[in-house]
Amino acid sequence: MEKILFIEETEETPLIKLDSESGLMEISGRSLPENASSFFEPVHKWLSDYLSNPAINTTMHLKLEYFNSSSAKQIMQIILLFEQLHLKSNNVKILWFYSQTDELIESRGRELKNLVNIPFELTQF
């Protein structure tokens, strides 16, 4: 596994930064790729590998401006991987950032938070 997975942001895909040494991870921007499953495949693979040798603390920053329904499914799968890690007694935290004027992103964050058993904070910026 590479120590860092970095995928540059485009108009249709989010920035992805995953760092196995620091345990700091970020997905930010807009996510509306034509094929979300294909776009997120390397992220799922990297995170699956990370589960076998995680950092002491793992924090995922989700700063999504917009995401379509197929991206929502992929994001949920990512959050479920973090839940697996949390259930193994690892220190895991999800930080969901939303604009104070974006009720939809805030509401989606609340929905996801209620679906998992993991430290999940909603943070307004």
CATH number at residue 47: 3.30.750
The DSSP string of 18-86 is: EETTT-EEEEEEEE--TTHHHHHHHHHHHHHHHHTS--SEEEEEEEEEEE-HHHHHHHHHHHHHHHHHH
- pLDDT 10s digits, 5-20: 999 999 999 999 999 9
Residue 90 is predicted with a pLDDT of: 85
- For residue 75, give its domain range: 4-124
Q: Which residues of the chain have pLDDT under 50?
A: none
Counted domains in the chain: 1
pTM for this model (two decimals):
0.96
Residue 98 is predicted with a pLDDT of: 98
